[in-house]
Amino acid sequence: MIKIGDRIWLEPLDGSTRQYQSKMLSVADGVIHISYPVDEQSGKTVYLLNGMQFKASFIGRDGALYMFDTEVKGEMRDPSPMVILTYPGDKYVTRIQRRRYVRVKAKVDAAVHPLNGEFAPFVTMTIDISAGGAALLIPPTHAPLLQPGKAVELWLVLPMRSGEYYYVKTKAKLVRIVTDEHGIAKMSVEFTDLLPQDRVRLIRYSFEQQLDEKKREKEENK
């Protein structure tokens, strides 16, 4: 399932909000070997200690996201520097299909740009979002210029619980446009060329929003 050369992302299970990126170097019985990971925020190499636990994720050949739990078992220097991680086997790897992406209500700042100058770029915000697409508000001036099937370039700003901001850029296809009883226009879009690391960030953002919502509900029911 996981292949040599695949990018792999590691998210600590100790509550840290950091995310590290690495590359698959080899697969052995019950373990995988990866290059020394790099912190995506600082760009610096990270040295992992034995026993550290992570949620690992990678993009399969089918374009789906796969996730599994892993632990650092050591390192090797020959034939090249690498970290040794446990690998539970394909049976215990979870496949996250597009239809299973969690959609959460969220007001995320966004900018929409045309691909061929059909309309003036505009800034707006999302109504809801997932790792597969989003719903956004449309300014009244732009509603007549947008049609289902049109492709746009979309920028999103993801505010994480850690205080960090991730900037996501992707092409998106307009799926539908609706206007409610108050005259407010909204459009649903599907992300069409999202980078794997940005999809992981969107999944992480969605999970954080779910946790925040559960926390609010719990406080309201006290």
Q: Dihedral, CA atoms, 137, 142, 144, 149, nearest 10 degrees? A: -70
Q: How many CA atoms lie within 13 A of 135 on its CB side?
A: 13
Percent of the chain with pLDDT over 70: 96
Residue 18 reports pLDDT greater than 80: no
Residue pLDDT, tens place only, 34-62: 999 998 778 899 989 999 999 898 888 77
Q: Does residue 94 carry a pLDDT above 80?
A: yes
Where, residue-wise, is CATH 2.30.110.10 in the chain? 7-96
Residues of the chain with CATH 2.40.10.220: 104-220
pLDDT of residue 35: 94
pLDDT band at 86 (very low <50, low <70, confident <90, very high): very high
Domain covering 7-96 assigned CATH 2.120.10.30 in the classification? no
- The Cα 47–Cα 70 span in angstroms is 16
Measured in degrees and rounded to the nearest 5, phi and psi for residue 4 equal -60, 135
Rounded Cα distance between 222 and 214, Å, is 13
pLDDT in tens, 185-203: 999 999 999 887 788 888 8
Instruction: Give the tokens for residue 22.
Output: 């690495």
Largest alpha-carbon pair distance within the chain?
Answer: 67
Closest CA to 27 of 203, 97, 68: 68
Question: What is the CATH number that goes with domain 104-220?
Answer: 2.40.10.220
Output b/e per residue, 207-220; b: 16+ Cβ within 10 A.
ebbeeeeeeeeeee
